[in-house]
Amino acid sequence: MEKFTVHQGLVVPLDRENVDTDAIIPKQFLKSIKKTGFGPNLFDEWRYLDHGEPGMDPATRRPNPDFVLNQPRYAGGSILLTRKNFGCGSSREHAPWALQQYGFRAILAPSYADIFFNNCFKNGLLPVVLTESAIARLFDEVNAFPGYRLTVDLERQVVVKPDGTEISFDVQPFRKYCLLNGLDDIGLTLKHQDKIEAFEASRLAAKPWLARTLAP
């Protein structure tokens, strides 16, 4: 998993509440058995005027010019600004995959659905919780100033505005540790690889029949 320490990026404003995971990545794209390739279909039903299906070439589709991801001033954005209860609905882990594979590294919102919130941390995506008033001010500033960029500093737990103003945020220490060190669940387990290998060796020595394979 990619580490998250400090990230500076262009802010993309998605001015909607209760954005569910089916809007983030529609259900037809969950057919894939891979963990990659979801970025082009992020917010698919809002992003395109035609219906999308797996395997379609995005270059052949009709983009919705009114949707924020298709507006030139937000091209290359990597910080998503949105409203309360982001990521509600089903528990699909594909939602943070799609956001991250599009290019987002952090999300700023007043609140998130619990499962989506947890899935973000497990996939290297930082969901920052700010007050509704702070989020509202950021929306005003993003809309007023093209090219608006923020710095998200996980180590110091602050969001830094272009004028240097800092907004603090809370993050659970264990989640912070994992993001700073790029550790997902597998990475955490592998930190104990020596102990795991020692246990497997001692178990095999005591019960050698475990190594036998059944005849076909």
Place of tokens 């290297």: 124
- 8 Å CB contact between 6 and 154: yes
* Residue 70 within a domain: yes
d(CA 172, CA 89): 23
Number of independent structural domains in the chain? 1
* Residue 82 within a domain: yes
Query: For a pLDDT cut of 90, what percent of the chain falls above it?
Result: 79
- C-alpha 212 chain-centroid distance: 43
Residues 6+ away with beta carbon under 8 Å from 41: 25, 26, 29, 52, 98
Q: Per residue in 79-111, pLDDT tens?
A: 999 999 999 998 889 999 999 999 999 999 999
Query: Is the pLDDT score of 209 beyond 80?
Result: no
Q: 215: pLDDT confidence band, cut at 50, 70 and 90?
A: low
Higher-confidence residue: 191 or 146? Answer: 146
Q: CATH number of the domain that 147 lies in? A: 3.20.19.10
- The amino acid occupying position 35 is K
What does pLDDT average to over the chain? 92
* Residue 216 within a domain: no
Place of tokens 């990026």: 9
What's the confidence (pLDDT) of residue 203?
78
Q: Per residue in 51-65, pLDDT tens?
A: 999 989 999 999 999
Q: Per residue in 160-205, pLDDT tens?
A: 999 999 999 999 999 999 999 998 877 677 666 777 777 877 877 7
What's the confidence (pLDDT) of residue 213?
60
What's the confidence (pLDDT) of residue 191?
67
**Residue 90 φ/ψ, nearest 5 degrees:** -70, 165
What's the confidence (pLDDT) of residue 163?
96
- Facing residues of 153 across strands? 6, 158
Query: Is the pLDDT score of 150 beyond 70?
Result: yes
d(CA 210, CA 216): 17
Helices (H), the chain: 21-24, 44-47, 94-102, 114-122, 132-144, 173-181, 185-190, 193-206
Q: In which domain, by residue range, is 73 found?
A: 6-211
* Residue 1 within a domain: no
For residues 5-10, give the mean pLDDT.
Answer: 98
d(CA 56, CA 94): 18
